[in-house]
Amino acid sequence: MSLAERLEAYLSRVWGEAVTVVDLSRIPGGASRETYRFSARTAKGERPLILRRDPPGSLIETDRNQEYLAFESFHDRLPVPRPVAMEAEGAELERPFFIMERVEGGTAASPFTIVPYGDHARAIGEQFFSILGTIAAADPSSLPLARAAEAPAPDACWKIALDHWAGVIEADQQHPQPIVWAAIRALRRRPPPPAQAIRVVHGDYRTGNFLHDGAGKILAILDWEMVHLGDPLEDLGWAIDPLWGHFEADKVAGMLPREEALAIWKKASGLAIDETALAWWSLFNAVKGQAIWTSAAKEYRDGGFKDPVLAISGWYTARRHDEILAAALMRWENLS
Amino acid sequence: MTPSLPDILVGNFMCMIDPPPPEQQGEFMAGKVAVVALLSLLAAQEAERGVAARMTENASIAALLGEAAADYEVEALAGTDDLSLAALDAANARLRLALMRLHEAVEEKGDTARHHAILRLYAQMADLRRLDMPPLPGH
């Protein structure tokens, strides 16, 4: 049975009417989910949709229920697609999946390109950091996400996050990684102050994980698979990680100078930025990145070397993050 | 480090050899070909610099361990005359484990000078392993 036939069987059953799947096509990029665009044709008309299905092996183990609830939480207040259906057990598609409405006319930047936003970098940057600030401003207890996401204590955010990603490295490393372990020890020796508020953390908020129209407008914030509740500075540290800088040292995320980006975030979130805390979360994010790339390398090998995106992640990006980590550790100790 | 250069090159074959289902042709296949091409370009850098990088890193770690042996318990490690990537990586794994144990002991002792020397070595190691992305146009 083809994927299109499985989708037809599923949608016909849950919608209670005959559904024909047309124009099913896999979208390149991403290794944590297989992503397909398709249209569901019924007697009432055609509905453009996106399918996100778990791959046989995944770059990261994530909670698809929380991911789905994040879309539910933000689709009516930010440029976020409306979710349509979610099946944690896979149903007719055999692997867990969810379906959301398709946002037309958008493109996502590859994080390893240069000048991806052209003359619109400033406009995109203003929206990018304002949207992140708006996510950080939301009271999580009022959101659908609160049904599944546990709220940590403000002074426990850092340890929960660090323990999780250190555990991933411990489990998946196939070659000793002294740089990232030195960073993990440094982070434990000098913890950050408690989170000023417990807020929604997107978990992978960065260039490349949103659609824009090519004319300076962000159309859709995507890739919520690592969403959780925690310290909102975690997201900010990830968004400005040098890995996502498009090789532009004078800007963050290839969009704006750092101070401008932080000022926009502060205004939108209503939160303060403690530079000591942000330095901790920045070093943490380089550890988190290295954990993800470590898992990618393992998955690439375990999966029979079939996914070249895992190869790029486990090889090139892992080495970039070793450079970033080594430089950050030098700064951490005021060395040059 | 993993994946190794042979892993990457074998993978470039493995990921292209199976005929894709209809929904994975077109745009997805074009994207896959682009990633494979990029991996090939980076593999050329690794083929050119990988052996030298590993030899230099292994020698630098061994030198630092040797210097520290007077003050710390550092295990004696045999080097390798085998210049294959696999043999150099195996030696590298042994050296890195010894370096990690030394670094933990250095931190515990509060030996700032040696701690900083190890951090500088890390920066050198990361630089030696660097892969250079070509300037890919973004729009």
DSSP letters, B43-54, are: HHHHHHHHHHHH
Least confident of A28-32, A220-224, B46-50: A28-32
Show Cβ contacts of residue A180 under 8 Å, excluding neighbours closer than 6 positions: A169, A287, A290, A291, A294, A321, A322, A325
In angstroms, how far is the first alpha carbon of chain A from the final one? 60
Token digits for A329? 């550790």
| ipTM at complex level | 0.96
What is the chain A residue with the closest CA to B119?
Answer: A330
Looking at residues B72-82, what average pLDDT do you find?
88
Find, in chain A, the residue whose alpha carbon is nearest to that of B101. Answer: A178
**B118 and B106 Cβ atoms separated by less than 8 Å:** yes
Cβ atoms of A214 and A107 within 8 Å: the answer is: yes
- Predicted confidence (pLDDT) at residue B109 exceeds the cutoff of 80: yes
pLDDT reported for residue B79 = 79
Quickly state the pLDDT bin for B95 (edges 50, 70, 90): very high
Cβ of A314 within 8 Å of Cβ of B27? The answer is no
Contact A28 B97 (CB under 8 A): no
The Cα of B102 is separated from the nearest Cα of chain A by a number of Å equal to 10
User: Structural domain boundaries of chain A?
Assistant: 3-101
B10 contacts A307? CB cut-off 8 A: no
Sort out which chain A residues have CB atoms less than 8 A from B9's CB and list them.
none
Query: Which of A50, A112, A170, A305 would best serve as a mutation to test chain B binding (most B beta carbons within 10 A)?
Result: A305
Nearest-by-Cβ selection for B27 from A28, A117, A246: A28
Task: Provide the shortest C-alpha distance from residue A316 to chain B (in Å).
Answer: 6
Answer yes or no: are the C-beta atoms of A29 and A19 closer than 8 Å.
no
Do residue B122 and residue A329 have CB atoms under 8 angstroms apart?
A: yes
Q: What does the CA dihedral A25, A29, A35, A36 come to, rounded to 10 degrees?
A: -10
Write the CB contacts of B110 (distance below 8 Å, at least 6 apart in sequence). Answer: none
Phi, psi for B98 (deg, rounded to 5): -65, -40
Query: How far does the CA of residue A137 sit from the closest CA of chain B (Å)?
Result: 31
Helical H segments across A190-312, by residue range: 233-239, 258-269, 275-302, 308-312
Q: What is the DSSP secondary structure assignment for residue A251, as one 8-state letter? A: S
Q: Is A123 on the interface with B (CB under 8 A)?
A: no
CA-based nearest residue in chain B for residue A120: B139
DSSP 8-state assignment for residue A256: B
Chain B hits for A311, Cβ within 8 Å: 3, 7-8, 11, 35, 39
Distance CA A50, CA A81 (A): 10
Chain A residue numbers touching B135 (CB-CB < 8 A): 114, 247
CB contact under 8 A, A311 and B8: yes
pLDDT tens-place string over residues A145-192: 999 999 999 999 999 999 999 999 999 999 999 999 999 999 999 999
Across chain A, what does the average pLDDT equal? 95
Among A residues 171-200, those touching chain B with beta carbons less than 8 Å apart: 174-179, 181-182, 185, 189
Of all residues in chain B, the one with the smallest CA distance to A1 is B21
Whether the per-residue pLDDT at A264 is higher than 80: the answer is yes
Per-residue pLDDT tens digits for A76-106: 999 999 999 999 889 999 999 999 999 999 9
Task: Please identify which residue in the block is written with the tokens 């696999």.
Answer: B86
Give the per-residue pLDDT at A125. 98
Q: Which residues on B lie below 8 Å from A307 (Cβ)?
A: 15
Is the CB of B36 less than 8 angstroms away from the CB of A308? yes
Determine, for residues A333 and B119 on separate chains, whether the beta-carbon distance falls below 8 Å.
yes
- What pLDDT, on the 0 to 100 scale, is given for residue A30? 67
A3-101, CATH topology level: Phosphorylase Kinase; domain 1 (3.30.200)
Average the pLDDT over B97-106 and give the result. Answer: 98
pLDDT number for residue A76 = 96
More confident residue, A239 or B18: A239
Of A25, A28, A110, the CB nearest to B136: A110
